[in-house]
Amino acid sequence: MALKLNIPALKDKPMIIADTRPQKIISALENLDQKNPLDIATYLHTELEILNRQKVSASNRVLALDAYRPLLVSTAKSLSEDYNNASLPLHDKAKLASAAAESLWLELGYGYKLALIDLQNQLIKLGTDKTSAHAIQRAMHAIAEHALVYYQTYVSLPAFIWSDLHQLYFCAVQLGIQNLNVQNSNAELENASATVNANLTISIENTYKHALLMSLADPQHLAQKDIRLIADLLSFHVVDAEIIAVSPLASYSGTFIISLKSNDPPVPFSKVKEEPDSDSDILLQTMDLVRSIHTDLNGLQNNHFPNNGSIPVNANRSDYIDLLTYLIKHWGVIPKRIFNRSQKNGDLDLVAGIAAIHQVSDKSLPYQVIPSRWQILNISATGMSVRRHPTAEKNIKIGSLIGIRTKDESHWSLALVRWANCGTKDRLDIGVQLISPQAQSATATIDGRHADEMILLLPEMTAVKQAATIIAPRGTYQPARQLTLKYNNVSQRVMLTKIIERSHHFERMQYSIIG
């Protein structure tokens, strides 16, 4: 398969000749230490853009790229701090940081792809396998990190991401180099996250599987920091996933199909209607991966952290329990949609967060928050997708609790933000899951805390067998913890009995009345 990668056009007579001497490059980079990440990113992007627009021998290009790469990795990591916990749509600082990170990974990927193409065009390829493996793995890693920026900013991936990844992997398989170990430099290991597996074999196959599994984790439904946690966690588990040729299967569970000639991400095998093409399709099997994740989950549920260090011992155990449960569902048996969505026009008002919902739900007080206006796109039995009006607040995060109300409704319904998709000019679409048709504002005196908390009481719904619950700030739940609830001039003593749902922003709990 001839390589048709996304690369820039080369100039025959460039105005500036790129410096490809590693020592000169490293010396120049050492003078950038005191600059802020955006300034460093600008410098790196300029130098890479010059390098990637002119003809350079494959060996010199790789040496130059390898000299730039450690600082680029650490700079991109610093830039991500401005957008990996930002509200949606992104504010200006987060936009600048994400755009800078995107451009760095794009240019780095360009460089290694150009080197690979030159290597493949050589008439005599004897002894080039190791350099080709290096170029392919580094290109794939850059493309995967480029995709990660899109995931963390909830922007749809450009088509060339998957086309390039598939072509690079297929090229490696044809050369028989997909499992060669491509070592990281010491500088890169120092810049890596503390939870990245330093013992992982850095190979094309593992890098490719990592990118496939990140897509299958459905990042649109994840908080930004959880996306990064999964990327780090995978460095300990990616070896448990397996790529195989198309073959008859006893079960479709944990099996995904990849079309190497397409621009498409992997899809569950059970959802494919046409017969696979054994010449260009491959399968990703994840059941061993799911079993490994399940072992970690069982350990956490019994207060044991994994021995391999995949989860830091100082990490929030509840966060990882929720995250591993999520991954088992997405990498194992894929759930089917129960309800279809139908188109619906109309607007609704929206407020975000417990405090805002508490205020608008208290009919005895005038509004102290101004609701945002959103457009309804479609609706199902359990939720809807809505689009932000340009004047709406920029305060949405995955897992946020929101209150919504159409003009025909007297009560504020409670919903959760399940997914997000950002576009140009601050366009933001979100998917919301309805959890209650109304809520009662209340305050709670919580044992062990000095100040009262604003909470929401959700009524019992017998039709769907849903018990009455309390929604409170994150960290409220402890088994058998007692609270004194106050609402409508009533005081009631309750005990928390079960956690129903937890996000980074709230906890939803069942309770029993005392006395």
**Residues 461-514: pLDDT tens digits?**
887 788 999 999 999 999 999 999 999 989 999 999 999 999 999 999 999 999
Among the three residues 336, 364, 395, which one is the final residue of a domain in this structure?
336
Give the pLDDT of residue 471: 97
**Which pairs from 166-169 meet CB under 8 Å and 24+ separation?**
166/258, 166/259, 166/260, 166/261, 166/262, 167/1, 167/3, 167/4, 167/5, 167/260, 168/5, 168/113, 168/116, 168/136, 168/139, 168/140, 168/143, 168/204, 168/208, 169/140, 169/204, 169/205, 169/208, 169/260
pLDDT score, position 198: 81
Please state, in angstroms and rounded to a whole number, the distance separating the CA atoms of residues 256 and 283. Answer: 6
Same domain for 457 and 424: no
174 plus 294 within the same structural domain: no
The predicted pLDDT at position 189 comes to: 46
- Taking the chain (515 residues) in runs of 10, the rounded mean pLDDT of each run is 90 92 95 89 97 96 97 96 95 97 98 96 82 97 98 95 98 96 65 68 96 97 95 95 88 90 92 84 95 94 91 91 94 66 84 95 79 94 92 94 92 96 95 94 88 93 85 94 93 95 94 91
CA distance 98 to 91: 11
Residues 295 and 404 in one domain: no
Residue 13 sits in the same domain as residue 154: yes
Same domain (yes/no): 45, 183: yes
| 27 and 173 in a common domain | yes
Residue 460 located in a structural domain:
yes
Residue type, 71: L
- CATH assignment of the domain containing 399: 2.40.10.220
The predicted pLDDT at position 271 comes to 84
94 and 239 share a domain?
no
Tokens (6 digits) for 373? 């206006």
**Residue 227: which of 148, 316, 327, 311 has the closest Cα?**
148
Question: pLDDT at position 282, please?
Answer: 96
Q: Which domain holds residue 87?
A: 1-192
Does the residue 48 lie in any domain? yes
For the chain, the domain total comes to 4
Domain contains 64: yes
Q: Which amino acid is at 284?
A: L
Q: Is residue 493 part of a domain?
A: yes
Looking at the fold, whether 320 and 271 belong to one and the same domain comes out as: yes
Provide the pLDDT for residue 465.
Answer: 80
pLDDT, residue 276, reads 86
Q: Of 436, 457, 485, which one is at a domain's C-terminal end?
A: 436
Pair 306, 184 in one domain:
no
- Judge if the upstream peptide bond of residue 89 is cis by omega within 30 degrees of 0: yes
367 & 412 share domain: yes
The pLDDT value given to residue 199 = 83
The model's pLDDT over 247-271, given as tens digits with 9 standing for 90+, comes to 887 777 899 999 999 999 999 988 8
The last residue of one of the domains, among 319, 336, 353, is 336
Is position 215 within any domain?
no
Q: What is the pTM of this model?
A: 0.92
Q: How far apart are CA 112 and CA 419, in angstroms?
A: 33
Q: Kindly state whether residue 201 falls inside one of the protein's structural domains.
A: no
- Report how far apart, in Å, the C-alpha atoms of 187 and of each of 40, 58, 183, 190 are: 17, 23, 12, 5
* Residues 70 and 34 both lie in one domain: yes
Position 269 in a domain: yes
Domain-embedded: residue 200 = no
Tokens of 141: 């890693």
Q: Is there a single domain that holds both residue 293 and residue 234?
A: yes
